[in-house]
């Protein structure tokens, strides 16, 4: 089981802010912005580069969930960043596709 699957199963605690049948959303334990949450599909896909055509609906829902969470956290109007790391060179630490939602302050470009 990945770390995220263990969070879904409540084997590891997390500061969960929303959960439904398809996604769990919780605060990152090492926030890089005032708002930094992870949007995690419950169905594990190791990384974006492993997604298949049949994952298209889930991938679209992932972005719509990020928009919904940004609105609920009050960062939709001021702006937010969505990050998906895919693979070790991108900094992916958990082999389970997830999206970082960051906001609450001006974010520099290019990112690190």
> Which tens digits make up the pLDDT trace of 63-101?
999 999 999 999 999 999 999 999 999 999 999 999 999
Classify 55 as helix, strand or coil: helix
Domains, the chain, ordered by start: 3-103 (3.30.428.10)
100 is an active site residue: no
Instruction: DSSP letter for 23, please.
Output: E
Active-site pick, 36, 96, 98, 100: 98
- pTM score, two decimals? 0.95
> Which tens digits make up the pLDDT trace of 29-63?
999 999 999 999 999 999 999 999 999 999 999 99
The pLDDT score that the predictor gives to residue 110 is 86
The pLDDT score that the predictor gives to residue 111 is 78
Rg of the chain in Å (alpha carbons): 13
């Amino acid at each position: 089981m990945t770390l995220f699957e263990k969070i879904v199963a409540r084997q590891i605690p997390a500061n969960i802010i929303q959960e439904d049948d398809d996604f769990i959303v919780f605060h990152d334990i090492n926030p890089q912005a005032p708002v930094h949450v992870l949007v995690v599909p419950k169905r594990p896909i190791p990384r974006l580069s492993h997604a298949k055509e049949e994952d298209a609906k889930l991938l679209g829902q992932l972005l719509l969930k990020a928009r919904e969470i940004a609105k609920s956290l009050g960062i939709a109007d001021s702006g937010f960043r969505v990050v998906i790391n895919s693979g070790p060179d991108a900094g992916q630490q958990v082999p389970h596709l997830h999206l970082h939602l960051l906001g609450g302050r001006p974010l520099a470009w290019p990112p690190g």
